[in-house]
Amino acid sequence: MAPTLKNGYKILLLKHITTINQGDIVVFREAYTNNYFIKRVVTLNNANIYVEGDNSVESLDSRHFGSITKNQILGKVLVVLWPPKKLAKPH
C-alpha cells in the first residue's frame, strides 16, 4: 500500500486526545531513539498500542520497536493541509 502521508505534507494535529481508535494516524516519539514517527494504529491492547506504516514493506514500526504507550503519542492527524489537492481527512 502506498503511504498516506509523504515528506513535505503539512498536517493539522490534535494534541489533546481523549480516545485513540484503530485506524487513527498518530504522531509519537519512539522511546529508544527519541525519533518522531507518524503511523497508523492497528491494535490497542490495554496499555499497548501497535502501529504500522501504510507502506509495510519499507516501514519502521511496531514490528521493529514494539508497542508504544499513550504517553508517547503527541497527537492524532486530523487533516492534511498541504499540498492543497490533498486537503482532506486522511483515511
Cell numbers at residue 88, please?
Answer: 482532506
- Distance, in Å, from the CA atom of 16 to the CA atom of 35, rounded to the nearest integer, reads 21
Nearest C-alpha neighbor of 82 from the set 22, 31, 10: 10
DSSP structure class, residue 42: E
Q: With 0-12 CB in 10 A as exposed, 13-18 as middle and 19+ as buried, what is 58?
A: exposed
Q: Model pTM?
A: 0.85
pLDDT of 71-87, one tens digit each?
999 999 988 877 766 65
Is residue 37 a contact partner of residue 60, using CB atoms and an 8 Å limit?
A: yes
Nearest C-alpha neighbor of 14 from the set 5, 3, 6, 24: 24
pLDDT of 1-56, one tens digit each?
566 778 888 888 999 998 999 999 999 998 888 899 999 999 998 889 999 998 88
Nearest C-alpha neighbor of 24 from the set 87, 77, 89: 77
